Chains A and B, each alone.
Chain A
């Protein structure tokens, strides 16, 4: 799959419009300078939108496209192509392909004429969708055909690619509409669900390649789309350095190489597994070693032990619990809870933990993270951050979910990463123990500004919660405690489900 850098042009400059509104403009400057800054290599595809053209219906950036084509870029240009002459203008300027929107949706006879003149391989059909309805003319009015009708029409002309934009998501950095692209991927046979149905006579109904556009704002978005068999164009997120083009292309080359992790968690107190709702109403739930062994046998990719003992005697018991669990386990073990010093950290590693989570103590003394990273390596250091919606933001909560710290959780996670945290275990205090689903907004708020992985925690209840945490939330691991412990779902069921949805898991 490919990641196609995208620039919008207005009066010779790279710009962005918010929600397609010509009054909400951000200007980034000269196109060639912008592309140099983005490290777009020779031979790369480049998506160019002529914004003035899309409004006026006349090609307005021909000179710029000619310059870009001379830089050995494979330019695909769209915006306001209403006739064979318009399309010809762009191809004559050196564009490799034209992106035809309004005409594809509204005027099939003109689309046919463009295909006859240029050849179908030089035409990409652009379909802009808002709330399920195809929009045309710079997004300013509804089209007369449905998405399925437009796709069927362009396919019948031999066109091989469709650029599908969710207007509500475009430029908003909220993430692409995975549901839309998953259903398109199924209809186009690019997804496991379509292959499973391949015995049906007319299935899949389409064979066109889908290029996603709109809302792609993180590396995780790009990878998740590639797993659905969907290419994507990336604009604002590249301009704002949220996505590195080289890194994104490396990841989409093998989007399934790195499996997403399913991480059961044992909350342990005084040597027993316990489970509470929102950190209270704690009840006994079994022997940690038995639980750990069952989870590994079920396919757990990692185990987390959170020690919630309040007393010093409890902490000593916890070390013994870690030792006993580590003895029985052949997957990575992360331990957190009550780690106050580098000595506590070392003691847990010696007891058999591979990684140690630090929470309250790191907020009180952030240098603890950097000191542990220097001594034991970043791979051993996990920031455990409990976050709660407070005062219109996410606030870090300390002392086992009891006390607001006054610190912004997203900012704190960013800082912790800089100090040496190799991964963030991010728990929603609001959702913990409720089975209402992970707090996807919290996950995305943190994962979209961090390069290190986020372990989603708090609220898992249904199968789709796991998918949403990974796709929309950008989490690299999903943690659950009571759900697995109470056998409402097994790790195997979660893995089967994710795999069926195109998300790779370890087998």
Chain B
């Protein structure tokens, strides 16, 4: 049981659980704030609306539990909207504060390309495998001092972020074939 997967109703938990298990994780899937606060390794999934996902974290006090875990040395991986939740603020439907664990803000793609972005996009990184990953998103963090991977969709955006033991990936590793599984494997094996 080395990984605690947060059982958000605003997420594709089953797919991520399957991918994490394939990547070698022993999983505990939970909504219990106490279990989350004492976890050593957390995964925060999310799809759809930042606002709905953040509201659920607050209503369940899981936002506080996540911060407590991180402050006591746990590692955390946010996926898709879970990645966006790590940042200071999102401008999806007004202004919504995020968890504030990583510097940056979440904005709508303003380039001329159609949104949502749906599909594979090439990611360049010195940390993750340089490969194409699968994205479904209308919003993204355009820049962050903690970016470790970038991609371009009518302009650059942050594909992955790391600050200390907190990681986030904007893409769907569970849909990104070998490269995606490798990212999860790295997180599972990381100590």
Contacts and interface: CB of A to CB of B under 8 A. Distances in A.
A332 B175 contact: yes
Contact of A331 (B14, B116, B134): B134
A259 interface: yes
A284 interface: no
Contacts of A378: 116
Nearest to B184: A330
Contact of A261 (B116, B119, B151): B119
Contacts of B112: 244, 246-247, 250
A377 B122 contact: no
Contacts of A327: 18
Contacts of B118: 379, 422-423
Interface in A349-378: 352, 354, 377-378
Interface in A309-344: 326-327, 330-332
A244 B114 CA distance: 12
Given A352-B15, A506-B132, A259 B114 contact: no
Nearest to A327: B18
A262 to B, nearest CB: 11
A258 B136 contact: no
B155 to A, nearest CB: 7
Interface string A222-263: 000000000000000000000010110011011011110100
Nearest to B178: A330
Contacts of B177: 296, 330-331
A476 B112 CA distance: 18
Interface in A15-49: none
A301 interface: yes
A398 to B, nearest CB: 26
Contact of A330 (B113, B122, B132, B181): B181
Contacts of B102: none
B120 A259 contact: yes
B121 A330 contact: no
Interface string B157-191: 00000000000000000111110110000000000
Q: Chain B: interface secondary structure?
A: mixed
A330 B119 contact: no
A92 B45 CA distance: 63
A107 B132 CA distance: 51
B135 to A, nearest CB: 10
Interface residues of A, number: 33
A251 B153 CA distance: 8
B113 A259 contact: no
A253 B112 CA distance: 12
A507 interface: yes
A254 B132 CA distance: 14
A251 B14 CA distance: 35
Residue from A257, A259, A452, A453 with most neighbouring chain B CB atoms (10 Å): A257
The interface centre, meaning the residue of B112, B131, B153 with most chain A CB atoms within 10 A of its CB, is B112
A258 B174 contact: no
Contacts of A251: 113, 154
A290 B151 CA distance: 33
Nearest to B12: A354
Interface in B104-158: 111-114, 116, 118-122, 131-132, 134, 136, 151-155
Given A258-B120, A261-B120, A330-B19, A250 B113 contact: yes
Contacts of A257: 121-122, 151-153
A333 to B, nearest CB: 9
B72 interface: no
Given A257-B151, A331-B134, 5 more contacts: A257-B152, A258-B122, A261-B120, A326-B15, A352-B15
Interface of A: 244, 246-247, 250-251, 253-254, 256-259, 261, 296, 301, 326-327, 330-332, 352, 354, 377-379, 422-423, 451-453, 476, 504, 506-507
List 8 A-B pairs, minimum CB-CB distance, nearest first.
A247-B112, A246-B112, A506-B132, A250-B154, A379-B118, A257-B122, A379-B136, A254-B152
